Structure 1
Amino acid sequence: MHTLRAAAAAALLGCAGLGAALAAVPIVIINGNGPGVGFNDPTPATPVGGNSGTTLGQQRLIAFTYAANIWGSQLTSSVPVRILASFEPLPCTVNSGVLGSAGAWDVFSDFPGAPKPNTWYPAALANKLHGADLSAPSDPHIGATFNSRLGLASDCLPGAGFYLGLDGNFGNGTDFVTVLLHEMGHGLGFQTFTDETSGDYYAGTPSIWDHYLLDNRLEHEWVEMTAGQRAASAISSDGLSWNGPLVTAAVPGVLDPVSRLAIAGPAAGPAAHDYEVGDASFGPPLANPPLLGQVMPVVDQTDGRGLACNPLSPLNALAVNGNVALVDRGSCTFVLKARNVQDAGAIAMIVVDNAPGPVTGLGGADPAITIPSVRVSQADGNDIRAQLQRRSRTRSGVTASLGVNPAKLAGADAQKRILMYAPNPVEPGSSVSHYSTAAKPNQLMEPAINGDLTHDVAPPRDLTLPLLKDIGW
């Protein structure tokens, strides 16, 4: 048997066990915080959303136990899973921040009961397969850290901290239970130990992940490829799929048809074609028959862009009324933009990204939004905008058709295998070890927490559990 430490070591501060979650897999939460901070923070808190804690530390622990119970009820193992958890200051700005991180503490290979030889398994899964604890009694199986400053500091997403309720009613906050489920998923095995940049195996040995990660252009799994081929596969955009049988069988019942924006009309010129779009977590989803309308830009900036962060001026309201509003990302939430153009009479909204990169969705929640919204890349948005220069006050001659392509599933390849996250350049810690952001509905194990996620980890809503079962759970 071989074992290696796979996660960075953390100081064990006040490492008394906080108890085990009651489930098919007992999950023992180990407090990695010192007195007065993290799980021990004595700041008074009002019970919220089914969380009865009366201090910040208590509420954090109750939410953690709740999430652990969800995972524990879905899995089976005779060996309790120990999670060393703590709250620490993590990188953060006023607009973005790291919510948390987690991963396997150790990896093991060639242990009695290992299904595949010469293959790394994360500690919790290795213990399940072996039927006994392979780790030292004082070692955790999963290490997890969460941002202690989120929403509580003026320079760390102020006003958008963790929502510690258990009911999913997070409003403008970040649902902590969802973050916990995501990070625990990584620790349970939703990760590769192979280097995403070089393609080199960890200590010369592939991980169980690599047996199911497939380059869909070569139709080869990572264990069949060279390091250079793996490195190229990791930046292939839509060239990387999951080839596990349980996930693939569940994909058609979970993923929706891909959304489609088609631009046409007498003034569309070279912009007349289909576009890849990111879906909104608010408003109605796209459907067939498609919604049709003239595209009209909001212009409220001196450079010709339109942010729509304030109620629209009379001229902009006249332009978008009964039409599809084209606005730019930036300065305010997507929900506020949608509300402003909807109030002005727009029938849909297209958001143009403000930086190059792959298309992702539009986050946020507001039940009052009744119009569909999509996001396009900066380059695509600029191509569409270029054709709107010769327009009247109410018509552009450029039409948008917003619907779905029933022949293709959002976030899946042509064989209906779910795509993995493979942006170019590599995003260390995110690339390869997440589902594609193109999946619809958004999946728990995408690289960002989206506002439409629930606490489900299994079909028909989510594909995380089938993947863990593919690798041995």
Structure 2
Amino acid sequence: MKRFTLNAMAAAAACLFASSTWAAATIVIVNGDPANVGFNDPTVVAPVGGNAGTTLGVQRLNAFQAAANKWGATLTSSSTIRVLSTWEALTCTPTSAVLGSAGATQVFRDFAGAPQAGAWYGKAQTGKLTGSDPDSSTADIRARFNINLGKSTCLSGSPFYLGLDGNHGTAVDLVTVLTHEFGHGLGFQTYTNGSTGAQLAGTPSIWDFFLKDATTNKLWKDMTDAERAASSLKSGKLVWTGAIANGAGSTLLQQGSPALTLISPANIAGTVQVGTASFGPALSSPGMTGEIMPVVDTAPNLGLACGPLSAANAAAVNGKIALVDRGVCSFTIKAKAVQDAGAIGVIVADNVAGSPPPGLGGADPSVTIPAVRISLEDGNALKVALSKRTRLHSNVFANLGVNLAMRAGADASGRLLMFAPNPYQGGSSVSHYDTSAFPNLLMEPAINGDLTHEVTPPFDLSFPLLRDIGW
């Protein structure tokens, strides 16, 4: 058996603060805080939302234990899982903050009973698979959480809610964040560097045996470093192949996903990710099908549509879906300009690289046609297809609406989408579900206010993925 230590553990002064035991697993929270800090803060507080603690430190511990209880009641392991936890000053501004982080402390490969040879497994999962702690001197998971959250310099006005009932209002629900981060420590992550594509010590993570690039049809374990780095930027094309998670997603995720579906010619047919608009009618099914025509009113080959269209452009887009470029004026002005020229819908091509495409902001009740944004890359590809058009026809047809053949957060083949934005987001890319999932999932890169504390269907897909990798 080979091991690799991921984090230096400053555990010499840590003490066992609390533990709980369940029929499925035992998870222990290890208090690594100094006196009067974090879990040891003696500040007197009133009980809140089912959290009966009467000091700030004890309430924090109770929230940690509630998250541990949820995972402990879900997992099966005869090896105690220890989470070394501290409250620290993490990166903050008045409008943004790192809430916390957690991850495996060590990874192991080629141990007796490993379901997959030549693959890294996190320490907690290795203990589950072997039936004993592979390194009793080291905790399984390292967790750090932001002690300054809610102060004027750290996401001002949005502190952690320490209640256990989910009634967090505008505050940040600590139990939800903890449950998410503990999920990473249990194995909801790859140990391969997604930015460079380099495998840890030349060995793939068990995660990489299930992660596939839909454009090359290659699993991450079979790619070169360069191929993995490129794959990590393919929003909407990085998918999970595990049968358990995908099977659960086929019933949990909402049927129908907003999309631009290219119909013809055959060589461009497929689905394009879109950002939806805050104005105009919501996308629907069967949606709006029509011929796409570009607006060309600014050199070189740009269509800004920031004012009334010329007679030639108006004739080109009348009765069709107009393609315009982002820039100079608001999205609502562009939409109104092509609507006034008779367009039945509008596609805004981004002018900066990046994916997935953000939504279109703005408000104008006079806009009555559907509008979406597509990425710069997809916009350029669409322009190539449109380059052989006549003055009035392109023969490029598409549907702008909700694609009922897809579920929100999965591809057309029913495979769950993983978070793969461009540019790469360290700490978020690859090791999360995609933000297109709906209902929102616990293991997306952002903590959404409508999440529950659940990790299993019919509420969530966190545990099904862990089952795919061997839990």
| Cα distance between partner residues in 1 of 2:285 and 2:54 | 49
**Cross-structure match for 2:242:** 244
Q: Does 1:224 align with 2:195?
A: no
CA shift in 2, pair 1:443/1:42, >3 Å: same
> Displacement of 1:279 after TM fit?
10
Deviation string 1:177-221 (CA, Å, 9 cap, x unpaired) is 100110000000001000111111101111101111111111111
Tell me if structure 2 keeps the 8 A contact 1:260–1:274.
no
| Cα distance between partner residues in 2 of 1:191 and 1:275 | 24
Counterpart code for 1:376: G
Tell me if structure 1 keeps the 8 A contact 2:355–2:423.
no
Q: Which one is further off, 6-15 or 442-451?
A: 6-15
Q: Does 1:160 align with 2:158?
A: yes
**Cross-structure match for 2:146:** 147
Tell me if structure 2 keeps the 8 A contact 1:110–1:118.
yes
Which residues in structure 2 correspond to 1:153-192 (within 5 Å)?
153-192=151-190
> Displacement of 1:460 after TM fit?
1.6
Tell me if structure 2 keeps the 8 A contact 1:21–1:65.
no
Specify the structure having the higher radius of gyration (Cα): 2
CA shift in 2, pair 1:356/1:123, >3 Å: same
CA shift in 2, pair 1:459/1:42, >3 Å: same
Counterpart code for 1:114: A
Counterpart code for 1:122: G
CA shift in 2, pair 1:441/1:106, >3 Å: same
CA shift in 2, pair 1:45/1:279, >3 Å: farther
Tell me if structure 2 keeps the 8 A contact 1:258–1:409.
yes
CA shift in 2, pair 1:169/1:197, >3 Å: same
> Displacement of 1:112 after TM fit?
1.0
Q: Does 1:460 align with 2:458?
A: yes
- 1:419 is aligned, of 392, 402, 417, to 417
CA shift in 2, pair 1:10/1:413, >3 Å: farther
Deviation string 1:215-247 (CA, Å, 9 cap, x unpaired) is 111111111111111111011111210111101
**Cross-structure match for 1:80:** 80
> Displacement of 1:289 after TM fit?
8.5
> Displacement of 1:433 after TM fit?
0.6
Identity in percent:
51
Tell me if structure 2 keeps the 8 A contact 1:21–1:68.
no
Tell me if structure 1 keeps the 8 A contact 2:19–2:28.
yes
**Cross-structure match for 1:405:** 403
Which residues in structure 2 correspond to 1:265-344 (within 5 Å)?
276-277=274-275
Deviation string 1:106-134 (CA, Å, 9 cap, x unpaired) is 10111111111121100000111111110
Counterpart code for 1:461: F
Tell me if structure 1 keeps the 8 A contact 2:20–2:69.
no
Tell me if structure 2 keeps the 8 A contact 1:23–1:69.
no
> Displacement of 1:175 after TM fit?
0.5
Tell me if structure 2 keeps the 8 A contact 1:435–1:445.
yes
Unmatched tracts of structure 1, length 5 or more? 263-272, 292-352, 361-374, 389-393
Q: CA RMSD in A?
A: 3.0
> Displacement of 1:94 after TM fit?
1.0
**Cross-structure match for 2:446:** 448
| Cα distance between partner residues in 1 of 2:412 and 2:134 | 41
Tell me if structure 2 keeps the 8 A contact 1:14–1:35.
no
> Displacement of 1:18 after TM fit?
2.0
- 1:376 is aligned, of 359, 371, 379, to 359
Taking structure 1 as the reference length, the TM-score comes to 0.73
| Cα distance between partner residues in 1 of 2:231 and 2:159 | 36
- 2:231 is aligned, of 208, 211, 233, to 233
**Cross-structure match for 1:321:** none
Taking structure 2 as the reference length, the TM-score comes to 0.73
* Corresponding residue pairs, total: 372
CA shift in 2, pair 1:260/1:7, >3 Å: same
CA shift in 2, pair 1:397/1:68, >3 Å: closer
